[in-house]
Chains A and B, each alone.
Chain A
Amino acid sequence: MSDVYLDSSAIGYRLRSRRLMVAVVLVFLVFIGRLAQLQVVEGDELGQASEDNFIRTEVLSADRGAIYDHSMRPLAVNRPAFDLYVTPAHVKKLPLLLDGLRQVLELDALDLDRLREKLEEPRGMARFQPIRVRRDIDRELVARAEALRAQVDGISIRVEQQRAYPQNDIGSHLIGYLGRPRPEEVANGDPLRYRDGTMVGRAGLEQRFEEVLAGRNGLERFVVNARGARAADQRALGAVDDVIREPPVPGSDLVLTVDAEVQALLMQALSRYESGAIVAVDPRDGTVLGIVSKPTFDPNLWSGRLPAEVKREVDENPYKPMIDKSVHSFFPGSVYKVVTALAGLEENAIEADQEVDSPGSYEFGNRIFHCHKLSGHGHLDLSGAIAASADVYFYKLGERLGIDTLATYAARFGFGRRTGMEINGDSPGIVPTRAWHDEHTPGGYQFGLALSTAIGQGDVRTTPLQMAMAYAALANGGTLYAPRIIDRIQSPDGKTVQKVAPQVVGTLGARPEHIQQIVTGLERTVADTDIGTGTLAAVSYGRIAGKTGTAQVRDIERARFTDKVKDFRDRDHAWFAGFAPVESPRIVVVVFLEHGGTGGKEAAPVARQVIEGYHQRIEPIFNTAAVNDARTPRRERGLP
């Protein structure tokens, strides 16, 4: 047998054996080539991939700075919040887990489907990334989730800092709220800053001082195994030289100039009105004592998981709770007349004691400009015209001064530009000029526009905060301040990092006697029971100066509102801007009631309530003993 094999076929077998050898060698060459490709050509890239496998970088979130009021009452702080997570890779029995979560979190079928999708979607390493199922669960839910965690794999509970606002909705516009960073912020921003779960300021001071409050997140790189668990011995794997830990730097705290009690006082003063704002500042240095807007919102809800019904309620609220009316611009009406008055005096268009006939209407060109008092006021000097808010007096002044001169003086009062508060838009408002009208008004500028501008109508728009700073300038003798809302920035351990000084942004540039003449008119507004429009702002024990404003508003798009809202929309804006005590002003109060009615009837008493409340509950500003001795009260009013 072997002979046959050897003789006839040996050569053929040897040939084919050699062919097989060549084939084998070729295959091995391919393998070696592939090895070289992976290990040399792609070596760095795959080396990085292997590092990415076991080195996990975790962002250590910095505690956000707190916000305190002037008396160190907490306005915005952090509290621990428990978030429920599921890690898809650790889930062994998905149906069991889903059923458990359904019971604990009371999920409906739709939620459940969505959750299942979310858990089944990730692939590869992404499955080791925990997915947040529910944010900020309460303690009872934490206990039940812990019980579930003991039964099924994949659940974890993490503690995050949740923002809390102890004052709830009081002064919420000023404080603002937090929100999740937008995708583009995450994409373009500092990855340390915008990690998953980081909330950023979305309104108010939270937004304005984001940089100060946020601090800097830390960073930790550590070794994990395939289950995502931290390896016990960080050096065990040998290859890691750069396990680093950079501790987070907590944000700084803000101490405000406002006082929570003042804020509460202002809200209380607004209680009878649907919509409006009150600003109280110290005219001596522009310090903001209180600033509120109504309706409010609860920042606790907005900074967490906003319930859909709350969101809808807010969206559909005709009084627009999310607009901060203290820095939103509106028609000022007659409170703006101080601009015209000062311009008139400074430009020598009028003398303070010069009497001007102020009838019920004024014919200019082919138009008739009416006074709010159709019977007219007769002859009035400047203080009388201010006190009675005689429109024709100011029409005449406006005619003489022209719109651009008025605008020049408006600018000195700070109108037409941002106050420097820089929260919630801090609207610059509008101070119309000839050029402005040429650009914005159909048909361009017409001279009659100067007349309506002179009484704060036409296209003038100011914010309550601007108005407060303007009246503060009148009260302090001519210095225009930027509102000082932050008293100091301090480190988490309570050390002052930065004390915020008052900031002068301008001056009225007027002769003191001119300012005094206007103040006299403002005091008469409150004090003169015969012609004063703001007498409801008066208190028996002190001198108050102020101006009422009733801005006529025609609302165009009112058809879709309810009767109550229509009624609201038809009413004028009611303003009162004033300060007290006149002899040494300590507080400027601006009351703005959106569609609140007339300034004298509605806004003036609100201002009185604020001034009285401030005097009685916060700080006595009136030297009552001296006043009672020196003066006989003009009006008898029972103290509340």
Chain B
Amino acid sequence: MAGVARLDWSLVVLVLLIGAVGVFNLQSTSLSTGSNIHLKQLYWLVLGGVVMVVTAAVDYRHLDRFSPFLYGFAVLMLALVLGIGKEVNGSRRWFDLGPASVQPSELSKLAVIAALASWFNRVPRPAGYTLRDLLPVAGILGVPMFLILQEPDLGHTLMLLFIGFSMLAYERFDRRALLTLITAAIVAVPVMWRFVLRDYQKDRILTLLDGDVDRLGSGWHALQARVAVGSGGLFGKGHGMGTQVAGGFLPENHTDFVFANLSEEHGLIGSTFVLFLYLLLILGALRVASHARDKFGGHVAVGVAALIFWQVFMNIGMVLNLLPVTGVTLPLLSYGGSSVLTVMVAIGLLVNINLRRTVF
């Protein structure tokens, strides 16, 4: 085991800071809604901290060998949740385990990261990957994406796609593969629109383009999030003073739209501060990647960076009315055990890779 002296404290401090901001922010929504979810979130963070330490302690290279099993398990869970999952608002995303609900799509993100990293590690192409090489990649991504889309959960489906593309972007390709990828991405848009997206998902996208399509449904959510953010102004309305949550105007205020509450109460200053924390975390993850001892570690770190980045991107993009409404949570700020644990495991992996980095 590498020494504690090599530990990159900056990552740990960032995670603790973001976690603390999350609990602090949820305390405000607890106040308004009379719940104690901020305490529950704190317990999840403590548990997540333990998981992070454990993840950091065991040499990540075991994960390389273990990744097919993890991947298989994740796919199995995704298939199972379609059958026996708890139906909420017309979609099956959670296993109901009594006091807690588990979301297998969260686990699948880690499994896909590990599986792709492992594949890149096992199939080195110093001259660049060719088109044929990409077929397994498409398979690894496609199966869980397909299953998650059946739940349906457009947000997580896209998350997997984006994470996959990000990890690809960390690799070299020959020209044909590159062109094909770009072409596929362009073709994918109309195909997805026609055959994959459901009406309500299309509505959300249309809402973004034209705020008046459905002011009651997703348009209402987006509008109220925008109102919450904008009404915060430069300094915010003050902790616990947000009227959008207290009045019940801001939906999903402790999960998907948690950042809107933070923006409303802490203004541009607070929001920028939190964005800055995320930026440092993501840049830190990419730095870990470039210093990784091996290709597997590097790709896992890039995957983790992508995981955090895309969640922040899709969630805050949604809150700021730049992207359609998808059920993607904000890492560590949104309330939710599965989400917290996933992020903590991911950070644990980063710390792990960083501990075992090469020294120049």
Contact = CB atoms under 8 A, between A and B. Distances in A.
A54 B249 CA distance: 8
Interface string A14-36: 10111111001101101110111
Interface in A459-515: none
A337 B244 CA distance: 79
Contacts of B264: 50
Interface stretch (A196-204, A232-240, A286-294): A232-240
A28 B231 CA distance: 21
16 contacts: A1-B294, A9-B295, A13-B298, A17-B286, A17-B289, A24-B305, A24-B309, A25-B279, A28-B278, A30-B322, A38-B229, A50-B230, A54-B247, A124-B220, A226-B248, A237-B243
> 10 tightest A-B contacts by CB?
A46-B230, A124-B215, A226-B248, A50-B231, A17-B290, A54-B247, A47-B231, A38-B230, A43-B233, A39-B268
Nearest to B295: A5
A46 B226 contact: yes
B233 A39 contact: yes
B223 interface: yes
B237 interface: yes
B46 interface: no
Contact of A39 (B172, B229, B293, B358): B229
Contacts of B170: 13, 16-17, 20
A35 B229 contact: yes
Contacts of B243: 50-51, 53-54, 237-239
Contact of A226 (B216, B247, B282): B247
Given A20-B305, A24-B279, A225 B230 contact: no
Contact of A43 (B224, B234, B283, B305): B234
B3 interface: no
A31 to B, nearest CB: 6
Contacts of A625: none
Given A16-B170, A35-B263, A50 B227 contact: yes
Interface in B236-277: 237-238, 241, 243-244, 246-249, 263-264, 267-268, 271-272, 275-276
B68 interface: no
B318 to A, nearest CB: 11
B317 interface: yes
B139 interface: no
Given A46-B226, A224-B247, A226-B247, A123 B275 contact: no
Interface of A: 1-2, 4-6, 8-9, 12-14, 16-21, 24-25, 27-28, 30-32, 34-36, 38-40, 42-43, 45-47, 49-51, 53-54, 123-124, 127, 223-227, 231, 236-239
Interface string B94-128: 00000000000000000000000000000010100
Contact of B216 (A5, A36, A124): A124
Nearest to A36: B268
Given A21-B283, A35-B263, A127-B216, 19 more contacts: A5-B294, A20-B166, A21-B286, A28-B278, A28-B279, A38-B321, A46-B229, A49-B227, A53-B227, A54-B247, A123-B215, A123-B216, A124-B216, A224-B247, A225-B247, A237-B241, A238-B238, A238-B243, A239-B241
Given A24-B283, A50-B244, A31 B275 contact: yes
A223 B126 CA distance: 66
B302 interface: yes
A40 B248 contact: no
**B contact patch SS:** helix
B126 to A, nearest CB: 5
Nearest to A16: B170
Size class of the contact patch on chain B: 35 or more
Q: Which of B214, B230, B232 has the most CB of A within 10 A?
A: B230
Given A36-B268, A53-B249, A42 B230 contact: yes
B316 to A, nearest CB: 6
Nearest to A125: B215
B112 to A, nearest CB: 18
B313 interface: yes
Contacts of B166: 20
Nearest to B308: A24
B248 A38 contact: no
A1 B278 CA distance: 33
Contact of A49 (B126, B172, B230, B358): B230
B228 interface: yes
A40 B226 CA distance: 13
A12 B172 contact: yes
Interface in B319-356: 320-322
Contacts of A227: 248
A216 B272 CA distance: 49
B91 to A, nearest CB: 21
A31 B317 contact: yes
Contact of B247 (A8, A32, A43, A237): A237
A39 B241 contact: no
Nearest to A127: B216
Contact of B231 (A13, A32, A43, A231): A43
A38 B275 contact: no
B169 interface: yes
Contacts of A6: 358
B310 to A, nearest CB: 10
Q: Which of A6, A9, A30, A35 has the most CB of B within 10 A?
A: A35
A16 B301 CA distance: 13
A236 B232 contact: no
A11 to B, nearest CB: 10
A2 B121 CA distance: 10
Contacts of A123: 214-216
Q: Which of B124, B216, B223, B321 has the most CB of A within 10 A?
A: B216
